[in-house]
Amino acid sequence: MFGLGILDVAFIAVYFLSVVIIGFWSARRVKNQEDYFLAGRRFGKLIQTFAAFGQGTSSDSAVGVTTTTFRDGAAGIWSALNLLFATPVFWLVSPWYRRLRIITLGDFFEERYGSKLMAGTYAVFQVLLFMLSLSLAFNAMSKTVLALTPKTVDQLSVVEKVEHDKAVELSELETMDHSKLSQQQQSKLEELRIENPKRVFSGINKSALIWLVSVIILIYAVSGGLEAAFITDTLQGVCIIILSILLIPFIFSEINTVYGGSGPLEAFRTMHEKLPESTFEIFGSPSTIDFTWYYILALCVLNMAGVVVQANQLVANGSAKDEYTARLGFTSGMYMKRICTLLWGLLALAAILLYGDSVRDPDLIWGHTTRELLGPLNAGLIGLMIACLMAAAMSTADCFMITTSSLLTHNVYRPLFPGKEERSYVRVGRFLGAFTIIGGALLALTFDSMLQQMKMIWEFGIIFAAPFWFGMLWRRTGRKAAWMSIVITLVIFFLLPLMIPIISPGIRGNEHLLKMTQARSVERRYVARQMDVDRRELEIAEWDRGNADGNSIGDSPEALTVGKGFTKIYVLPRKDIFWTKEIRRDNDGMLRGHGMLSLELVLYDKLGFDLTKNPYALNETLRLMTRTFVPFFIIFVLSFVLRDDNDKERIDRFFVKMKTRVNADRAIDEKQLELSYAEPSRFDHLKMFPNSKWEMMKWTRVDVVGFIAAVLVAFLILAAMYVMINLGGKLL
């Protein structure tokens, strides 16, 4: 069936059956909104750890890292590791979510700013964000599953065969030294890069696959709520770990078979001996367009600002029985993801060695590697991998579904229809949660580039980031300033970039806005390794064929030997500046920009900056940093300019609640809250800046020790990455 064996199908069926049973079992324990949306706040450290790991790790995590690493070398690992040094911050902010003692993060905006409208607006935008996130997970899962079931060339349709042949031609042109290409070949290369043809076509229908997974998620998550989601996340977390390590011993064994040697250490040494030096450049690889050090720094700052305001953070932490459980579970779960990220990157580096010359689309490398290594065994391992990929996608999807269900129910439906029975709200929540899964599935069928989707997700959280951070830390921040920050950020960075091309479609063909970065030649000096030698032999053979036809230019490329120094010239392709997707030639033959218009870069251009001379990563860094800091600047300034519209009693109750530690015993916790509400200044002596409007608290011993430990773990992971990437071959 679709190229799968009986054991493969059995693994998938057993997994589906297991999660459905968990869903129906959990449904019996749902009595009210807190049971359904937060599982009664009764989870301990183990479930919290796997819940954080599961909701933060989807199929796009593993597949996305292998995609970017396969394409960009070791620097591509930063696509998922860019939050490494933001992770210790989770140790400090996780208790916030538990101390809020609310059902959704939308309730924070209602409680802090006294605005149900702000809470409802936040809910709607989070639903859109989660739909986009789910589309990314579904796309990653489907791309890999489709790669596991490819059509052979003779099974392709006429249209598919034409596109396949173009992809083969593009791959051949990109492997050649650009300086040796004829003018005709250079023009063809540029044209094919814009067209970006597909090389792999599957016998499985992508739409049917995505809808099947969506239905399974709906069955168990709608039934059992967050408890079902988090219990299945524990099962799915184990599957994700299996997914992370399953292929590594097989790919090391294959390297030893192809190149000689035995054991993982020999395979590791072979990688370092044969892969080009440029593959192991963590920063500044000339072939790396998207992950320079300054772009990674910009991403880290952006994500640190925006990730804390994602609604699933409240769900992941607010379901814990106390705040220590919340912070330990969440931080541990996030570090589990960081460790797995290194394994995904290692797999991708090994895949470059084996399949670097045969796979055109980096998004397909995980599936291609799985099929090549596990398929011949006929042991059901491809089915296990598919089940793990589905588990990875579903572990995120179920949490997002419950989160958006609670947001729409609690912050949109409840204010419109107050006074309903708890079971009524639960029924509505089950219904509304389905919209997220359906929306994510529809978006997955619309978008195709996973990196493009990741970028949109990274940036979307910034809309509400400033009101959240300032609302938590600065008493002076008022409703008007928060609203202005939200509205200005939304309009300038999202609505106008989206609407302007719709209202005035001709702008997509505007010559000025079709400007691209300059194709840049970068010269690097390397010591030749085996792959360099093999590729040079192909270039020489191609030059000889062209010379025979009268198409070659210049002298034949110089032959290489292992260990010989050589100079390599990279020609970085031109990249669009003002459009979030790409510039491509439409059916009428005209070039047009696609996606949203980057107004901040248009502004820099109008101010006289020549963005065409910048590397693509530098333009992206300018855009990200503008989006990150402008909202914070707006809210800070307007909090001084606008009249303070805070209600003192509401603000006093909010901040004293946030200073009152959570007790796992509900009765004791409620009594402590009553004491705090009766005396709002009860904990003011613990403020870092007494007699000021800043509400940062002095760090406790647990804060200090935990934060230092978290920072040390981050450095250990970075050290492990450095050893794996740069020193592995030498140490072995």
Question: How far is it, in rounded angstroms, from Cα 60 to Cα 450?
Answer: 8
Among 451, 480, 513, the domain boundary falls at 451
pLDDT at residue 731 in the model: 46
pLDDT at residue 689 in the model: 92
Which residue ranges in the chain fall short of pLDDT 50? Answer: 729, 731-732
Measure the CA angle with vertex 423, ends 418 and 424; round to 5°: 45
Its domain, for residue 223, covers 6-28+46-84+104-150+204-276+327-451
Q: Spell out the alpha helix ranges (H) of 196-322.
A: 206-259, 263-274, 293-306, 311-318
Closest CA to 481 of 641, 655, 364, 652: 641
CATH number, domain containing residue 256:
1.20.1730.10
Domain for residue 457, yes or no?
Answer: no
pLDDT at residue 58 in the model: 63
Domain for residue 430, yes or no?
Answer: yes
Among 451, 481, 508, the domain boundary falls at 451
Q: How many CB atoms lie within 10 A of CB 53?
A: 27
Q: What are phi and psi of 320, to 5 degrees?
A: -75, 155
Domain for residue 615, yes or no?
Answer: no
Q: Are 526 and 565 in contact (CB under 8 A)?
A: yes
SS3 string of 435-474? Answer: HHHHHHHHHHCCCCCHHHHHHHHHHHHHHCHHHHHHHHHE
pTM attached to this predicted model: 0.77
pLDDT at residue 503 in the model: 92
Question: How far is it, in rounded angstroms, from Cα 166 to Cα 189?
Answer: 10
Domain for residue 669, yes or no?
Answer: yes
Domain for residue 577, yes or no?
Answer: no
Query: For the residues of 663-696, what is the DSSP string, one character each?
Result: -SSHHHHHHHHHHHHH-TTTTGGGBSSTTSSB-P
pLDDT at residue 568 in the model: 75
Domain for residue 617, yes or no?
Answer: no
The total domain count for the chain is 2
Tokens of 178: 């650009």
Report pLDDT digits (tens) over 675-705.
Answer: 999 999 999 999 999 889 999 999 999 999 9
Domain for residue 350, yes or no?
Answer: yes
Report pLDDT digits (tens) over 93-140.
Answer: 999 999 998 888 999 999 999 999 999 999 988 888 888 777 777 777
pLDDT at residue 716 in the model: 93
